[in-house]
Amino acid sequence: MERDVDEFERFVLDVEPRLRRALVARYGREQGREATAAALAWAWEHRGRLASLSNPVAYLYRVGQSASRRRKLRLVVDRPSMSEHTVEPELERILRALPERQRIVLLLVDGAEWTHAEAAHLLGVRPSTVQQHLERARRRVRRELRVEEVP
């Protein structure tokens, strides 16, 4: 049992940030966190299977989706207005302006730190398609943010 706990600790350390960020991007803060907790609870109950999952983060993402009873993938952050911004205030507006697929891929890969393969598996597209959307999204966001290219 103690070994199980230790292994699960390591598993959560590895998977939780990517899972949570993706679910928060989809559902917003409160429901996204709730879905993450539900998915990880399922993971603990089925810890014997975790090693056999080829793509645990995408699998648990779907568990979180079902747990939340909401089926949509709405990858835009519902950030409440805050008097003091700790992140780039323009970022949310720029993300909203992105085409849907570009925004989803950008948030999954750059925001939630998913691999191209993981994002491709979730979205049902090829990794090369993910890369194309990602490059376009990055270019557009950099341009909007006026981030200079490094020569």
Partner 1 sequence: MSEHPENDLRHRLIALLDEGVEPVSASEARGRSELHLPAGPCPRWRSGHPVGPWRLGAIGALALAGVVLVGIVVLVAVQHEPGSNTPPAPLSGSGLLATSTGPCTGRAAGCGSPESSAAALAHGNWATFPRGPLSARSGQVEVWTGNELIVWGGYGSGLVPLGDGAAYDPRTRTWTMLPASPLRPTEDAAATWTGTEMVVLGGEAGCLADSSSSCNGAEPTDAVAAYVPATNTWHRLPPLPMGQLVDPSALWTGRQLVVVGGSVSPNGVLSDKTAAFDPATSSWARLPLLPRLTSSGPKWRLIDAVPAWTGTSLDVLVTWQRSGLCGKGCGYVRARSATWSLPVGGSAWHALPKPTVALGGAVTAWTGRDVIVAGGTYCPWSCPPPIRFAALYSPRTRGWSRALGSGPVSASPGVWTGKAFVSVRTSRTHPFEGATLGAWDAATRAWTRLAGTAAVLDNGAGRPAVWTGTELLVWGATGMALVVPPPT
Q: Is 33 or 136 the residue whose CB approaches partner 1 more closely? A: 33
Q: Is 78 or 117 the residue whose CB approaches partner 1 more closely? A: 78
Enclosing H/E stretch for 100: helix 100-106
Nearest to 64, CA basis, from 95, 33, 86, 88: 33
Q: Is 3 or 71 the residue whose CB approaches partner 1 more closely? A: 71
Least separation in angstroms between residue 51's CB and partner 1 is 14
String of contacts with partner 1 for each residue 84-113, x by CB under 8 A: --xxx--xxx--x---xx--x-xx--xxxx
Helices marked H in 51-99: 56-68, 91-97
The residue whose two tokens read 């890369």 is 131
Which residues lie below 8 Å from residue 19, measured CB to CB, with a gap of 6+? 36, 39, 40, 57, 60, 61, 64, 112
Least separation in angstroms between residue 75's CB and partner 1 is 8
Burial of 36 from C-beta contacts in 10 A (0-12 / 13-18 / 19+): buried
String of contacts with partner 1 for each residue 16-55, x by CB under 8 A: xx--xx--xx-xxxxxxxx-xxx-xxxxxxx--x------
Q: Is 13 or 51 the residue whose CB approaches partner 1 more closely? A: 13
Number of residues lying near partner 1 (CB under 8 A) = 75
- Classified as helix, coil or strand, 19 is helix
The number of beta carbons lying within 10 Å of the beta carbon of residue 81 is: 5
Q: Is 67 in the site for partner 1 (CB under 8 A)?
A: yes
Least separation in angstroms between residue 67's CB and partner 1 is 6
Residue list 108-147, contact with partner 1 (CB under 8 A): 110-113, 123-125, 138, 141-142, 145, 147
- Classified as helix, coil or strand, 144 is helix
